[in-house]
Structure 1
Amino acid sequence: MDHSKMNMKGTNEPQKTTDVQAVKSQVLTGKVINLTAMESNQEIAPGKTLPVWTFNNSVPGPEIRVKQGDTIKINLRNQLSEPVTIHWHGVPVPNAMDGIPGVTQNAVQSGQSYTYEFKADVPGTYWYHSHQDSVNQLDRGLYGSFVVEGKNDEKVDRDFTLMLDEWMSSGKGMSGMAMSGMDMSGMDHSGMNMHSGDSSSKESNTNSMPMAHDMSMYDLFTINGKSGSLDQLPVKQGDKVRIRLINAGYLSHQIHLHGHEFKVIATDGQPVTNPGILKDSVLSIAPGERYDMEFIADNPGQWLIEDHSNNKAASGMRAMIVYNGAPASSDKSNASEKLSAVDLAQYGEAGKKAFSLNQKYSLEYTMNLNTEMKDGKMAYTINNKTFPDTDALTVKKGDTVKVRLVNNSKTDDHPMHLHGHFFQILSKNGVPFKGSAIIKDTLNVKPGEEYEVAFEANNPGDWMFHCHDLHHASAGMVTELKYTDYKSDFVADPNAGNKPE
């Protein structure tokens, strides 16, 4: 789809630069950004156009690029039939700007507007998405990338952003399918294939019987809203290239870069200390996570970036690095080849770290994550409870907090996302992390795994801590991080239809 010819009402004019490539998307810069939530149609795969919900008439929505230290205003206009919000995933915004309906704001009603304003202090790769009825609205396409360019960022010649997602070719669960009144928390997941691993796809969000809610219905995997189209990433020999990978879907993807050595220079936007050179490894990227790769374009030709997940739909999740003047590609997919995943536990160099396993913490919490039958329905629990009955993590400003995340589910991954804060990973399955400090806001905990993470309570507010497989969140796997020395002046409107998950 050529977005340059669309009517982009209410948007900024795109600013083209030599080193930033908006692949099939618009780039918005400056200190005032306008986003309009609206219905549209988009060709997701060749010959397959689906109804979508969008920001500024495309999926993904525009990439927003701002400078570190800028105070920015984002004006949201809602032209949809349902209320929406915007959550700034990974960005440590003030609590009032977090975009959580019923917690930090009322959902923005159809025909109304809302302004988000905050200072972009921390550079990195982030994204934005609706957090109103998010299991459905994110599924329809309400998301985009958000990049804070750092004052001390290493210069690159090319800078690409690739957003990963999954869709249903049937169009079920998309706009016009009467999803809006659905209460996922009451849904019976027992008949569903809810695995978050390689061999599954997101469940349908229709109002049919539970057995129809099968993750394998998601049969189109996309990069930047396109499946199988081999979007081209143009490079010149000798270029230093940065690729920002963002998983906006509900499944993990195993991303492989052909023909080049690379480094992982950032996790969830936060830098890795002296990253080592990698080759023939996949980056396993779970829902909500971001990884920044960097490589030198030193192997002329045309080379795939592709998903090695064990799912036939993965063949659609491809892009092509194309050197200037390169002949037509002879590079073939090797997606069936089993490659090892990058192990962050020993990656990079152990520089200065904010936290250690053995230090004394103000508070320690354990979160046991599980999949259980409750009242005849499948529920996703934290310490045997479902939201809103889960026990909040309570802190006060300045506390140091250690959290133990334990996945007791038999088959379900749980990518846990903490709003408003970054945490450092201390250990996995009792083994300390020995390389660079790995700083994240979203961490995938696979069945049987246990992680210890630590953070400082440095951003007062009432914050969500939830699974970013939003089917799990909507079925209970949500808790809150609450500051006892913070009092919000927000008042929820009972008529706003607030649906925080």
Structure 2
Amino acid sequence: MDRRQFLKSSSALLTLGAMPNILLATPSEGFDYELIVAPADVRIAPDGNTPAWCFNGHFPAPVIRAKQHQPVRIRVVNKLAEPTTIHWHGLRIPIAMDGVPFLSQAPIMPGETFDYEFTPPDAGTFWYHPHMNSVEQLGKGLVGAFIVDEAEDPGFDADVVMGLKNWHIRDDGSFTALTTPRNAFRMGTPGRLMTVNGKVAPTYYIPTGGAIRARLVNIDNTLTYNIRGDGSDLTIVTVDGNPIATPRPLQQHLMGPGMRLDLGFIAPDEADQIVTLYHKHEVLVRFKTVGESKQRRALPRLPLNPIPTPDLDNAETIQFAFEWDASINPVKKDGKVNYRFWTINRKAWDGMSAKHIPEPLARLEQGKTYIFELANLTQYHHPIHLHGHTFTVLDSNKQRIEPFHTDTVLLGQNETARIAFVADNPGRWMYHCHVIEHLKTGLMGYIEVS
């Protein structure tokens, strides 16, 4: 959308962020949305198309918007030549809707459909992606934002959704290696082209003097973004889909793969002014003010999500150590190496099938509070994600923590953090690092709540 189109747009469009190159998912008969998973050529690189895998033939993927406490029905149609599923990252939903093959549902085979239906209890910024052949399916583009709007509109003047992804592509659009053993053993294989909604350093138009909500979603396989900004007083209002009790100024914020960050700010009170967000010193996105000033002076306040309060006095503590696997990697029957570089409590995830479900890392009692002590005994970052629950980060041996709610905690080198949650959602829930090459080479397991 160019500046002239923006100025002609309605206020309803402003609430969607006036975003160039991004779509809302479309309804289907009997469903709120239909997602078609299929190959599609998309233009990301400067000199040629990329043979991506997409939702509804487009990248960025359609933004799904649901409403807190209201049911949403989504039909997924698989037109790939391989099975897939869809996981709704960060959403506290029933296990049958979690989208993990064999653990919670049968894979969606080529030509088949699967209908997801659930009622989001929490408002915030979430996302969706497959949980099969993850390096390739996510790496080639099957990643999208899922927004759950508050039960009552908080009253921002613009709501901008931004998916951050480094593409593994050359200038001509062809793919480079999505993974290599050398990099999977370390921090993961980096992409070459850093994009926001499939564009390099795009500029989005925002209302002059308006209250802006900027939603950042790290949909990358590998990269931890170091977010900072200038041009306005930027405030962190939510972390990983959960509003924080006391919004705080943005100085810098690390976002591992799978993590989200909502920033609020009052746009400059004059037209043609710029607010910029950076990854380290590299421009991610610019916002430019247009139109007459809305003269907002304060940001709307977001209500906290209804997260169960952990009973810390009666909690059971379980320790988890994330380490390298020093064993010799096994060779499959076809002669290919079955790389296993990472472990949780000295066990590497070896996959599962309809006939083989490994033992859980822990068995939890429904309704009971647990404290997980997470020890990263490596020199690399690990964003540790738990399905089906929202936990409270209590403290860390490396940084001062103001307790906050999340579904993914970023552990730095040799960092130990404690998290607490009420095991209130029965089922077998995946529990893994969200650096995709790490989970694919061992750093994954599940917990069982019963």
Give the TM bin, normalised by the shorter chain. 0.7 to 0.9
How do 1:95-114 residues align onto structure 2 when only pairs under 5 Å count? 95-114=95-114
Q: Does 1:236 align with 2:204?
A: no
Matched residues in 2 for 1:57 and 1:353: separation? 39
Residue 154 of structure 1: how far off its partner (Å): 2.0
Please state whether the residue corresponding to 2:137 is helix, strand or coil. Answer: helix
Structure 1 vs Structure 2: percent identity of aligned residues? 30
Deviations 1:376-429 (A, max 9, x none): 45511011111146752211210101000000013x211100000000001111
Counterpart AA for 1:321: F
Between stretches 65-74 and 298-307, larger displacement belongs to 298-307
Matched residues in 2 for 1:461 and 1:171: separation? 45
Counterpart AA for 2:198: G
Matched residues in 2 for 1:290 and 1:431: separation? 20
Counterpart AA for 2:265: F
How do 1:388-467 residues align onto structure 2 when only pairs under 5 Å count? 388=350, 391-410=360-379, 412-429=380-397, 433=401, 435=402, 437-467=403-433
Deviations 1:12-31 (A, max 9, x none): xxx96331124421013766
Residue 178 of structure 1: how far off its partner (Å): 11
Cα distance change of structure 1 residues 220 and 424 upon mapping to structure 2, 3 Å threshold: same
Q: Does 1:475 align with 2:445?
A: no
Please state whether the residue corresponding to 2:14 is helix, strand or coil. Answer: coil
1:369 corresponds in structure 2 to 322
Matched residues in 1 for 2:370 and 2:70: separation? 30
Matched residues in 2 for 1:48 and 1:266: separation? 37
Counterpart contact for 2:360–2:448, Cα < 8 Å: no
Residue 353 of structure 1: how far off its partner (Å): 9.2
Q: Does 1:222 align with 2:176?
A: no
Matched residues in 1 for 2:146 and 2:26: separation? 10
Counterpart AA for 2:314: K
RMSD between aligned alpha carbons?
2.8
Please state whether the residue corresponding to 2:246 is helix, strand or coil. Answer: coil
Give the length in aligned residue pairs: 406
Structure 1 unaligned spans of 5+: 3-14, 197-201, 204-214, 310-314, 327-348, 486-501
Residue 304 of structure 1: how far off its partner (Å): 2.4
Please state whether the residue corresponding to 2:245 is helix, strand or coil. Answer: coil
Matched residues in 2 for 1:44 and 1:103: separation? 35
Please state whether the residue corresponding to 1:96 is helix, strand or coil. Answer: helix
TM-score (norm. length: structure 1): 0.75
Counterpart contact for 2:274–2:288, Cα < 8 Å: yes
Deviations 1:305-333 (A, max 9, x none): 22116xxxxx4x6222011169xxxxxxx
Q: Does 1:85 align with 2:85?
A: yes
Between stretches 18-27 and 254-263, larger displacement belongs to 18-27
Q: 1:285 aligns with which of 255, 261, 264?
A: 255
Matched residues in 2 for 1:151 and 1:438: separation? 21
Deviations 1:425-470 (A, max 9, x none): 011118773x3x4100011111110100000011111110000001
Matched residues in 1 for 2:57 and 2:110: separation? 16
Matched residues in 1 for 2:62 and 2:346: separation? 40
Counterpart AA for 1:192: N
How do 1:337-376 residues align onto structure 2 when only pairs under 5 Å count? 354-355=309-310, 359-361=313-315, 363-376=316-329
TM-score (norm. length: structure 2): 0.83
Structure 2 unaligned spans of 5+: 3-10, 293-303, 330-338, 351-357
Residue 58 of structure 1: how far off its partner (Å): 1.4
Residue 32 of structure 1: how far off its partner (Å): 1.3
Matched residues in 1 for 2:49 and 2:107: separation? 29
Counterpart contact for 1:29–1:66, Cα < 8 Å: no
1:252 corresponds in structure 2 to 224
Counterpart contact for 2:384–2:410, Cα < 8 Å: yes
2:67 corresponds in structure 1 to 67
Matched residues in 1 for 2:140 and 2:205: separation? 29
Matched residues in 1 for 2:289 and 2:102: separation? 49
Cα distance change of structure 1 residues 80 and 261 upon mapping to structure 2, 3 Å threshold: same
Counterpart AA for 2:217: I
Matched residues in 2 for 1:260 and 1:195: separation? 37
Counterpart contact for 1:48–1:169, Cα < 8 Å: no
Please state whether the residue corresponding to 2:13 is helix, strand or coil. Answer: coil
Deviations 1:145-197 (A, max 9, x none): 0001011452100000111111122399978x999xxxx9xx8x3x337544x
Counterpart contact for 2:367–2:423, Cα < 8 Å: yes
Cα distance change of structure 1 residues 373 and 163 upon mapping to structure 2, 3 Å threshold: same
Matched residues in 2 for 1:391 and 1:105: separation? 17
Please state whether the residue corresponding to 1:17 is helix, strand or coil. Answer: helix
Counterpart contact for 1:136–1:173, Cα < 8 Å: no
Matched residues in 2 for 1:45 and 1:299: separation? 35
Please state whether the residue corresponding to 1:25 is helix, strand or coil. Answer: coil
Cα distance change of structure 1 residues 432 and 153 upon mapping to structure 2, 3 Å threshold: farther
Matched residues in 1 for 2:26 and 2:155: separation? 18
Counterpart contact for 1:51–1:171, Cα < 8 Å: no
Please state whether the residue corresponding to 1:106 is helix, strand or coil. Answer: coil
Counterpart contact for 1:143–1:248, Cα < 8 Å: yes
Matched residues in 1 for 2:173 and 2:81: separation? 15
